[in-house]
A and B are shown apart, each in its own frame.
Chain A
Amino acid sequence: MPFLIRCPNCGNRNPYEFKFGGECKTSPAAGADRNAWCDYLYFNENMSGFQEEWWFHSKGCGDWIKIRRNTATHEIADQ
């Protein structure tokens, strides 16, 4: 396994137990125009370095969790 994910319920677990949910984004405010929504849906920071991201522990506790992971080194930041 390339790295370990610290699940608050289950401890350090193999990432293959999780489903990756992508980078954390802020959705446009109510009444935002179409372009803002297109940008939110399709465009990504796609960070090479630390980013906050969603993971779903599908083969574990079944919770969605947020972690900070360095996508270039796979280092997981302390929460």
Chain B
Amino acid sequence: MAATQKILQYKQPESTYDVIIVGGGLHGLSAAYYLAKYHQVKRIAVLERQYIGSGGSGRNTEMVRANKRAHETLPFYKESLEMWDGLSAELEWNLLVQKKGLIALAHSDGEVDAMRMQGDAQRRAGIKIDMLSPQEIKRMVPALDISDRTALPVVGAQFHPEGGTVHHDAALWGYAKAACRLGVDICEGVEAVGFNVEAGRATGVKTNVGEISADKIHIAVGGYSSQIARMLGVKFPVVTIPMQVMTTELMAPFLDYYVASPRLHWYTQQTLKGDLILGGQLDPWQSWKSYNTWEECSERVASILEYFPDLAHARVVRSWSGLCDCTGDSAPVMGPSGIEGLSLDVAWGYYGFKSTPAAGKYSAEYIVKGKVPEKIKHFGLDRFFNRSRVREIII
């Protein structure tokens, strides 16, 4: 007889906590887990207005990678990528971590040069990266058309062998279960509607079920950070832009790698289940609405079909979109908010999922010690005022 004990129990919030985390997504839950596990914080609440993982945590394309460019961010992404490896054992939950390798196609010599430069920065940070010739790509991805038939033929690629996928729902449930087991109160249906700030210090959260006081408040609300900013009477350096994603029907395994074209704004991978995930382009305008458009679907599919002509029979069966809080320099905002006792982990754009373990770890460290950890010192809000924006590129 199998055990029927619940893995996770939701709670109603109490009136006071040591730390309140606003946002029950991956970042909020991982911060709660690291606070409870490594910093022995006793009374932690995670407030989620809908259900856990209802935002970007359950809407991303499950890609984990560290092939960014800026030297300020690379050590952080590298550590995050490595943390996924041990996480299934640590959380006692199979996250289906599959480091299958990521191939980013280049369609011109200029792109190859840019990828080489980027690769140098990545190698200096200790990230494995290689360049591939079209023939090597063809051996790895037989379904890919590398001929001159396409409008922009493939002339090379950057290979990131440690990149891959993690099941996002599994990661969410893993963190939620582990946090719950350590005594974290996960409160669904509890929405922050305001904050109590006295003499520049945050003392509590006003919610739809009453006021909750706390020593520390942590904001990890994904795409909704500007709503929190309005409650606090400040602005964040973000624009909320949706990203649309599609999946196809199930197919026999044919694609072993994550394949992306940064130039043509698409990426695709075949999940363990057999469906293809298709996506890669932010919507061309700001929006807070979840929707899918024919224009985006047809453009993305046409571009992918150009390089995978055998997929012409495949049907798109499902689509969705998620909100990305994009900063001008493609780096997040972490650490101090300018209000004492209130810390930030926001503005993650479309690179929040892969950052989950390290963001949770360093958020927890900052909340407890009050000193910005070395690895996130470039992510502060003050960088927009003191000429130290991160020199990241959009990929």
Mark A residues whose CB is within 8 Å of B: 1-2, 14-16, 19-20, 22-23, 34-35, 38-39, 41-48, 53, 71-74
Contact = CB atoms under 8 A, between A and B. Distances in A.
Given A2-B287, A46-B226, A71-B288, 20 more contacts: A1-B293, A2-B291, A16-B293, A20-B284, A35-B385, A42-B237, A44-B226, A44-B236, A45-B226, A46-B235, A46-B236, A47-B226, A48-B288, A53-B286, A71-B240, A71-B289, A72-B289, A73-B289, A74-B289, A74-B291
B239 interface: yes
Interface of B: 224, 226-227, 229, 235-240, 284-289, 291, 293-295, 327-328, 384-385
A72 B288 contact: yes
Given A1-B295, A2-B291, A44-B238, A16 B385 contact: no
A22 B226 CA distance: 15
A2 B284 contact: no
B294 A1 contact: yes
Contacts of B385: 34-35, 38
Contact of A74 (B235, B284, B287, B294): B287
Given A1-B295, A16-B284, A38-B385, A44 B289 contact: no
A63 to B, nearest CB: 17
Contacts, number: 68
A70 to B, nearest CB: 9
6 closest Cβ pairs, A-B complex: A46-B226, A20-B285, A43-B235, A42-B237, A72-B288, A42-B384
Contact of B226 (A41, A48, A53): A48
A38 B288 CA distance: 25
Contacts of B384: 38, 42-43
Nearest to A14: B295
Contacts of A15: 284-285
Given A1-B295, A71-B289, A46 B238 contact: yes
Contacts of A45: 226, 235
A22 B285 CA distance: 8
B323 to A, nearest CB: 10
A20 B227 CA distance: 22
Contacts of A1: 293-295
Nearest to A49: B288
